[in-house]
Amino acid sequence: MKKWLLVLSMVSAVWVQGSDQVLTHMSLEDKVGQVFMGFIYGTELTAESRRFLEETHLGNIIYYGWANGLETPEQVTRLSQDLAGWIGRSVSVPPIIAIDQEGGIVSRFGKGFTPFPGNMALAATGNPQLTYLAAKAMGEEMRAVGVTLDLAPVLDVNDNPDNPIIGVRSYSTRSATATRKPIPTPVCPSSINRSKSCSKLSFSPFKRFAANRKRS
């Protein structure tokens, strides 16, 4: 049997009206599971994956190419629906289903999805509105396949030559450009709000790598 890697990151939840009643009926294990995000293997929700979710009470999922191997929008949609149904029935709270879909060199979904430019390419146009439009379209695509959280954008300033992980994933080597609006913001990003997807998809407030601190 495969070894399962469970804990990837802590996540925060936005509770809505009636959440107190939901919490009252949740076990301690289910409450703990709500603040963790992990992954399963494969393109389908197998019996083994169901057992894993039952044993760990995991409340949120992230997709990885090396773990899931999802190749088409149809596969993503089916797995998202199955996970939302299985976890939602277990704890009465729909899971966060996340992905690193930044555009450019970090695009976890390929075939069947729009190949968006990366952050530095968008910033190089000098037109912030293009960032808005790219995020809006990306959000609509992710929502359509059941993804509810896009772990993007990277708001690091690419000013540390000792850290190659950032590079063109950043908007710029200058902080003024890297933080220029409009950049998608958390919970109700303006870039997707017009498509009435605010309640269904969020961009993370930002993604920053601790190792990117510039040495003095």
Regarding whether 123 and 74 lie in a shared domain, the answer is no
Regarding whether 123 and 141 lie in a shared domain, the answer is yes
Distances (CA, A) of 204 to 28, 57, 98: 27, 23, 10
**pLDDT tens, N- to C-terminus, the chain (216 residues):** 344 444 444 444 444 455 677 778 888 999 899 889 999 999 999 999 999 999 999 999 999 999 999 999 999 999 999 999 999 888 878 899 999 998 999 999 988 999 999 999 999 998 888 888 888 899 899 999 999 988 888 778 888 888 888 888 888 888 888 777 555 543 333 333 333 334 444 444 455 555 455 544
Number of domains present in the structure of the chain: 2
Domain end: 97, 116, 136, which one? 97
CA–CA dist 150, 204 (Å, integer): 6
C-beta separation of 67 from 40 below 8 A: yes
On whether residue 171 sits in a domain, the answer given is yes
C-beta separation of 208 from 153 below 8 A: no
Q: List the domain range (segments joined by +) for residue 175.
A: 100-210
Give the alpha-carbon dihedral of 168, 172, 173, 178, to 10 degrees.
-130
Which of 119, 212, 134 minimizes the C-alpha distance to 172?
119
Regarding whether 130 and 57 lie in a shared domain, the answer is no
Threshold 0.85, pTM exceeds: no
Regarding whether 104 and 206 lie in a shared domain, the answer is yes
